[in-house]
Chain A
Amino acid sequence: MKRAVAAALMAATIAACDREERRFRELPPSASATNAVRQSELQPGGAIVEESTYTKYDENAYALSQGKRLYEGMNCAGCHFHGGGGIGPPLMDDEWIYGSDPAQIFKTIVEGRPNGMPSFKGKLGNSQVWQIVAYVRSMSGLGSRPASSARDDHMKVAPNLQLRKAERPRNSFLPPSTQQP
């Protein structure tokens, strides 16, 4: 009896395994939805609490590794290095000048930001930007940790993304002028 139960449990566990899907032609979350991204928490009238724009890219290993590849290819590492920052602000800590929400990061990449962050508008497809967003978030442990790659092609700068603790973003919308990168 016990054996039968164990076998049934095992079968149920195996049946529950789901192979992650690699989507190549999906329509990315529309860029137009991010047109009204908030950069300040001050709001006229009563404050509206907005939902996070957490996307399916955040938990998809394929999207995260493509994002990692694009991060190298687009030379993000040229300024942000592999998360530690240098010329640009670090990406693996809990401090986000322009917000840690996927839509906010999307906007930061597409629009560019003062003091050196270039705008990638028209230079990358939307789905590619979302992949980079997912990878950038994974650097500080946000998003899905099991989906993050445990292996780096470059020198390790932190415990691998699957093991490290998430850096919970400090919820601050400081005006950019007071926070030099």
Chain B
Amino acid sequence: MTWLQAAHSALHPASAQADRVGRLYNFLLIVAVLVFVAVMVAALWAAWRRRPIDEDTSPARDARAHRVIFAGAAATVAILFVALVYDLALGRSLTRRATREMLTVRITGHQWWWEVEYEDPTPQNRVRTANELHVPVGQTVALKLASADVIHSFWAPSLGGKKDLIPGHHNELWFTPTEPGLYRMQCAEFCGLQHAYMALEVVVEDSKKFAQWINAQRKPAATPPDTLTARGKLVFESGPCATCHAIAGTSAAGTIGPDLTHIASRRWLASGRLGNTRANLAGWIVDPQRIKPGVLMPSNGLEPADLQALLNYLASLK
């Protein structure tokens, strides 16, 4: 089985903020390497050098030696102080809220998936989706982070560092993506059994593609084109699915599980655990406990004909 694999490294920054963190990292690395080399050279030289027979033991030599030790300590303090100032100044500037107009997205952590909601002053323009975040390149995105149950952590090192999602507390994180591409975001705070498979895909795309995507997401679910698909819709609405999941434009309005209005447009299922294929979706619906033991979705013993109709319906939700 394949699962969500995408860029996930602080060493390959793809946002203005991650880039600055990357530069801090490089600075610290270079300084540390230089200091390490200097200390090693000095230590080797001291070990290799032989004590002269007529060793100078005058107080003047002691004073010289003390001066060398003090200089070493002073250099250490100075270097660490520069690193500290650089680090704190960067941290401060990254947490200062940008004043520009921002795209605001609410991210809510659940055991074990991510709820994503695009804010908009017009209620019908709000978009709810799950486990994937589309953002336009070059525009600052503000994420409002909250949790529905336990502490989770948003960790997308390529884009915006790491920040916790804490129950009863709202956190914010913002970043300005600079390179289009796919990035992995992973929960970074142990949150229970399926913590390791709690991932989200960040899709950074140009603003035209993003506008296309969000306009498609704003539409309610497609009407079933044929009778089999219509039957699938009935199975969804009348069966256990609708208890937890919502599909905009139908009577299914559950809020415990991910919104499935446009599930067919997503690349991944089960928070990045499975590729979105018909076979994977069937396996997931029938026996999710086998794929992610402990997940809150129960096994659903649907009749084969109902399952096929349901799969047809879900595949039509582009």
Contacts and interface: CB of A to CB of B under 8 A. Distances in A.
B243 A123 contact: yes
5 contacts: A22-B294, A24-B289, A25-B287, A25-B299, A73-B244
A122 B239 contact: yes
A119 B290 CA distance: 29
B300 interface: yes
- Interchain residue pairs A-B with the least CB separation, the first 6: A125-B298, A24-B289, A25-B289, A123-B243, A24-B293, A73-B256
Contacts of B287: 25
A127 B240 contact: no
A124 B243 contact: yes
Q: Would you call the interface of chain B mostly helix, strand, loop, or mixed?
A: loop
Contacts of A22: 294
A128 interface: yes
Contacts of A127: 298
Interface string B279-303: 0000000010110011010111000
Contact of B290 (A25, A69, A122, A124): A25
B223 interface: no
B125 interface: no
Interface residue range, chain A = 10 to 19
B72 to A, nearest CB: 53
A16 B218 CA distance: 58
Given A25-B293, A127-B298, 13 more contacts: A25-B287, A25-B289, A69-B296, A73-B244, A122-B238, A122-B239, A122-B240, A123-B240, A123-B242, A123-B243, A124-B243, A124-B298, A125-B240
A125 B285 CA distance: 12
Interface of A: 22, 24-25, 69, 73-74, 122-125, 127-128
Contacts of B298: 124-125, 127-128
Nearest to B254: A73
A130 to B, nearest CB: 11
Interface residues of B, number: 16
Contacts of A123: 239-240, 242-243
Contacts of B293: 24-25
A30 B293 CA distance: 22
A124 B242 CA distance: 10
A125 B238 CA distance: 13
A127 B240 CA distance: 13
Residue among A69, A73, A127 facing the most chain B CB atoms (10 A cut-off): A73
Contacts of B240: 122-125
Contacts of B239: 122-123
Interface in B218-270: 238-240, 242-244, 256
A10 B294 CA distance: 34
Nearest to B288: A24
Given A73-B256, A122-B238, A125-B299, A24 B294 contact: yes
Nearest to A73: B256
B197 to A, nearest CB: 14
Contacts of A74: 243
Contacts of A69: 296
Contacts of B299: 25, 125
A181 B37 CA distance: 81
A122 B294 CA distance: 21
Contacts of A122: 238-240
A69 B295 CA distance: 13
A30 to B, nearest CB: 12
Contacts of B238: 122
A40 to B, nearest CB: 31
A74 B296 CA distance: 13
Contacts of A73: 244, 256
Contacts of B243: 74, 123-124
A22 B243 CA distance: 24
Nearest to B287: A25
A46 to B, nearest CB: 39
Contacts of A128: 298
B259 to A, nearest CB: 16
Nearest to A127: B298
Contacts of B242: 123
A24 B256 CA distance: 19
